[in-house]
């Protein structure tokens, strides 16, 4: 009986000792794994925290003022912890905080880039590169008034590449009053007007070219200028009386154009009217002779001509003596 009772007791004691050793090994293994994990975690570089982050600053202020908003997280098991904090109006960043955040805005443009006419306007340049239709006239007149308002003493540079109130094929696209409107605006300005022809200056555009300040009217070497009589717009199904009225108005505009060209070119009214009987084309040299421009813009021409010495100076600098009789 005693032997029967001792066997289970011995077996129980051995099992308890084995369990204790297993527990100790498990604890030791956990300690080693924890130390190894901490060591590896120390080697992983942590991302830097932006002190100017608007959300972190809001989170800190809310945690200090009302900790329950942070501690009482959502009990919904489908929602990750503290995700509802992003939807809290207390934690939303204000526009001023977002603007001060360097990480969000350091590469973002502050404003959209300006368009090309605005960049030219900043350099006091007005460019006419289309036929004189109402939209072009409106823009050019507005730019001229704006530049005078900005500084009435600085010059305005008017670059012209326009076929006037007609297209390349001669079809009328605008009224003659479009060119007269820009001309009247130029005459009202207190600034010096530097006109430059690039490409073509035809009809009313040629008038604008000649209307610049005397001595400040220029033309590119290969640009063309042309003056011609105004054309009658398309009459369509207009009655004959209306066509006659339009024809008379075209004649009045022609006489006005002749008078203004004679005034700015220095020619007589008869001479201008004679050459305008048919389209009168002018290259840069001919336009200068006719009085439309004052100077041709040859690149570096003035500097080269100033450096050219006379034959006598060449001989003197070279040490050559010129004998009389030779």
Please provide the DSSP assignment of 232-299 as one string.
PPP-TT--HHHHHHHHHHHHHHHHHHHHHHHHHH---HHHHHHHTTS-EEE-HHHHHHHTS-SEE--T
pLDDT digits (tens, 9 = 90+) for 244-298: 888 888 899 999 999 999 999 999 999 999 999 999 999 999 999 999 999 998 8
What's the total number of domains in the chain? 2
Is the same domain home to 90 and 152? no
Q: Output the pLDDT for position 1.
A: 44
Is the same domain home to 99 and 147? no
Is the same domain home to 255 and 157? yes
158 forms bridges with which residues in the sheet?
126, 195
Is the same domain home to 124 and 96? no
9 in any annotated domain: no
Q: What is the mean pLDDT of residues 49-55?
A: 59
> CATH number, domain at 249?
3.90.226.10
Could you tell me which residues come within 8 angstroms of residue 293 by beta carbon, excluding any fewer than 6 positions away? 195, 197, 209, 210, 217, 218, 219, 225, 284, 287
What does pTM read for this prediction? 0.59
314 in any annotated domain: no
At 133, the pLDDT band (50, 70, 90 cuts) reads very high
Question: Residues 126, 147: contact at Cβ < 8 Å?
Answer: yes
Q: Output the pLDDT for position 267.
A: 94
Q: Give the domain extent around 81.
A: 54-104
CA distance 262 to 300: 31
31 in any annotated domain: no
170 in any annotated domain: yes
Q: What is the mean pLDDT of residues 219-228?
A: 92
Distance of CA 121 to the CA centre of its chain: 11
pLDDT digits (tens, 9 = 90+) for 83-99: 454 455 544 545 555 45
Is the same domain home to 235 and 292? yes
Q: Output the pLDDT for position 309.
A: 53
Residue 67 has pLDDT above 90, yes or no: no
CA distance 91 to 56: 9
Q: Output the pLDDT for position 69.
A: 58
Residue 321 has pLDDT above 90, yes or no: no
């Amino acid at each position: 009986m005693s032997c029967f009772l001792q066997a289970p007791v011995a077996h129980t004691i051995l099992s308890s000792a084995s369990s204790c050793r297993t527990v100790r090994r498990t604890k030791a293994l956990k300690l080693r794994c924890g130390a190894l994990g901490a060591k590896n975690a120390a080697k992983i570089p942590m991302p830097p925290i932006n002190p100017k982050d608007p959300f972190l600053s809001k989170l800190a202020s809310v945690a200090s003022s009302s900790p329950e908003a942070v501690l009482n997280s959502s009990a919904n098991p489908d929602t990750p912890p503290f995700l509802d904090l992003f939807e809290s109006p207390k934690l939303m960043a204000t526009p001023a905080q977002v603007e001060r955040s360097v990480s969000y805005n350091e590469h973002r443009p502050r404003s959209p880039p300006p368009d090309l006419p605005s960049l030219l306007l900043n350099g006091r340049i007005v460019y006419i590169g289309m036929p004189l239709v109402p939209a072009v006239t409106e823009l050019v007149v507005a730019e001229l008034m704006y530049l005078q308002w900005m500084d009435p003493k600085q010059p305005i540079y008017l670059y012209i590449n326009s076929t006037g109130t007609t297209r390349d094929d001669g079809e009328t696209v605008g009224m003659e009053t479009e060119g007269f409107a820009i001309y009247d605006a130029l005459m009202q300005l207190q600034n010096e007007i530097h006109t430059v022809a690039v490409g073509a200056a035809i009809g009313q555009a040629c008038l604008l070219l000649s209307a610049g300040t005397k001595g400040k009217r220029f033309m590119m070497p290969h640009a063309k200028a042309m003056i011609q009589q105004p054309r009658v717009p398309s009459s369509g199904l207009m009655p004959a009386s209306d066509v006659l009225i339009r024809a008379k108005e075209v004649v009045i505009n022609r006489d006005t154009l002749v008078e203004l060209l004679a005034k700015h070119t220095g020619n007589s009214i008869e001479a201008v009217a004679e050459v305008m009987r048919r389209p009168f084309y002018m290259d840069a040299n001919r336009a200068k002779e006719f009085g439309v421009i004052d100077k041709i813009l040859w690149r570096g021409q003035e500097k080269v001509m100033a450096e050219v010495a006379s034959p006598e100076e060449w001989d003197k600098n070279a040490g050559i003596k010129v004998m009389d009789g030779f």
